[in-house]
């Protein structure tokens, strides 16, 4: 029995690239699949496709080009100021390619999520789809986690698994993972919005009774050869 939707929380989505994760969140909000609304979209990259997607969706969007700031701390402070101005409840990193510092994290304690295109703790950092392919793993996937002071080390909320095929390229594997990212990120954000996430040390407990519905399928079986 799903719970009635609570008052929507306000999201601040940070993106540096094309914004397909942002688009999946935009679409999920429009379909009332997330108990949230996007208050603003911020990017560090003036050329980010995410800014164009935000504009098309009629969303508040701003670029704070990190290259215009004298240091990482000043950039972080400016981002925090904009997020607080827009009264953001949850910061959603959606392909945001800057490491946020302690002051940013202190401003939003346990209220910053990130999506990573690997099954953490395997393959943190960048270019991880290629790293997984080169390593020879049989399964890959993606992870939604809380952001903490480390990089890709925060408590894990949801993961999805995809098979790695013998003829996979970095592009084909990235595309397969991205499809799952677009499914699990809206789901994870909605769990947070409904107060269904409880952090206990490294572990995150999902209170199913507060979720909107059943957990989506998270393990993609190997494709027929
Ligand atoms: N404190 C944290 N900040 C961020 C996290 C995190 O877990 N903790 N996740 C990242 C997203 N991410 C991987 O999922 C990631 C993004 C960027 C980098 C990185 O090395 N960035 C470089 C600049 C790279 C560039 O501009 O092309 C840097 O910031 O110096 C590592 C991991 C978001 N932030
Ligand atoms: N380490 C962070 C990282 O690699 N993030 C990845 O950047 C891509 C952004 O795509 P998008 O702009 O189309 O959402 C996504 O695959 C996301 O997991």
CB 170 within 8 A of CB 130: yes
210 versus 222: which is more confidently predicted?
Answer: 210
Give the number of other Cβ atoms within 10 Å of residue 60's Cβ.
15
Q: Which pLDDT score is estimated for 100?
A: 97
Mean pLDDT of 40-69: 98
Q: Whose CA is nearest to atom 6 of ligand 2?
A: 95
Task: Say if residue 14's pLDDT is above 70.
Answer: yes
* pTM (two decimals): 0.96
- Verify that 104 and 41 share a domain, yes or no: yes
Task: Say if residue 213's pLDDT is above 90.
Answer: no
Going from the Cα of 1 to the center of ligand 2, the distance in angstroms, rounded, reads 33
Residue 220 lies in a domain: no
Q: Which pLDDT score is estimated for 225?
A: 65
Give the residue from 200, 207, 222, 188 showing the smallest Cα distance to 93: 188
- Verify that 45 and 59 share a domain, yes or no: yes
- Verify that 154 and 66 share a domain, yes or no: no
Instruction: Output the six-digit token pair for 10.
Output: 């306000």
**Ligand 1 pocket residues where CB is under 6 Å:** 93, 96-100, 114, 116, 125-126, 147, 151-152, 154
- Verify that 121 and 182 share a domain, yes or no: yes
- ipTM higher than threshold 0.90: yes
Residue 214 lies in a domain: no
88 versus 216: which is more confidently predicted?
Answer: 88
> Going by C-beta distance under 8 Å and a sequence separation of 6 or more, which residues neighbour residue 103?
73, 76, 77, 80
- Verify that 104 and 126 share a domain, yes or no: no
Q: What is the dihedral of CA 105, 115, 13, 31, to 10 degrees?
A: -140
- Verify that 131 and 97 share a domain, yes or no: no
- Write out pLDDT tens, residues 164-181: 999 999 999 999 999 999
Q: Which pLDDT score is estimated for 215?
A: 84
213 versus 66: which is more confidently predicted?
Answer: 66
Task: Find where tokens 């699990």 sit.
Answer: 184
Task: Say if residue 1's pLDDT is above 60.
Answer: no
- Verify that 159 and 104 share a domain, yes or no: no
Task: Say if residue 185's pLDDT is above 80.
Answer: yes
- The residues with which 197 forms a beta bridge, in sequence order, are 206
- Verify that 51 and 132 share a domain, yes or no: no
User: How many domains does the chain fold into?
Assistant: 2
CB 72 within 8 A of CB 97: no
CA distance 23 to 137: 29
Give the residue from 111, 181, 121 showing the smallest Cα distance to 152: 121
Domain containing 78: what range? 9-109
Mean pLDDT of 174-200: 97
Q: Which pLDDT score is estimated for 2?
A: 63
Q: Which pLDDT score is estimated for 107?
A: 98
- Verify that 55 and 37 share a domain, yes or no: yes
- Verify that 159 and 84 share a domain, yes or no: no
Cα 223 to its chain centre, rounded Å, is: 26
Residue 4 lies in a domain: no
Q: Give how far Cα 144 sits from Cα of 16, 160, 181, Å.
A: 17, 9, 8
Mean pLDDT of 120-144: 98
What positions carry a catalytic annotation? 116
Mean pLDDT of 185-205: 97
- Verify that 92 and 127 share a domain, yes or no: no
Mean pLDDT of 108-120: 98
CB 210 within 8 A of CB 3: yes
Out of 13, 21, 116, mutate this one to test ligand 2's pocket (max ligand atoms within 8 Å of CB): namely 21
Mean pLDDT of 2-15: 87
């Amino acid at each position: 029995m799903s719970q009635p939707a609570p008052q929507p929380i306000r999201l601040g989505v940070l993106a540096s690239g094309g914004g397909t994760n942002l688009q999946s969140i935009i679409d999920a909000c429009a379909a009332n699949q997330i108990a949230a609304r996007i208050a603003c979209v911020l990017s560090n990259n003036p050329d980010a496709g995410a800014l164009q997607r935000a504009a098309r969706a009629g969303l508040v969007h701003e670029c704070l080009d990190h290259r215009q700031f004298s240091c990482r701390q000043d950039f972080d402070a400016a981002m925090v100021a904009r997020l607080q101005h827009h009264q953001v409840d949850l910061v959603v990193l959606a392909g945001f390619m800057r490491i946020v510092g302690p002051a940013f994290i202190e401003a939003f304690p346990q209220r910053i999520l990130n999506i990573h295109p690997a099954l953490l703790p395997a393959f943190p950092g960048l270019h991880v789809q290629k790293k997984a392919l080169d390593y020879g793993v049989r399964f890959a996937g993606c992870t939604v986690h809380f952001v903490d002071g480390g990089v890709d080390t925060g408590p894990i909320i949801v993961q999805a698994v995809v098979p790695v095929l013998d003829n996979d390229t970095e592009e084909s594997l990235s595309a397969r993972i991205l499809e799952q990212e677009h499914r699990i990120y809206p789901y994870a954000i909605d769990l947070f919005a409904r107060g269904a996430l409880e952090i206990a040390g490294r572990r995150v407990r999902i209170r199913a009774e507060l979720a909107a519905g059943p957990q989506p399928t998270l393990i993609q079986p190997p494709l027929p050869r």
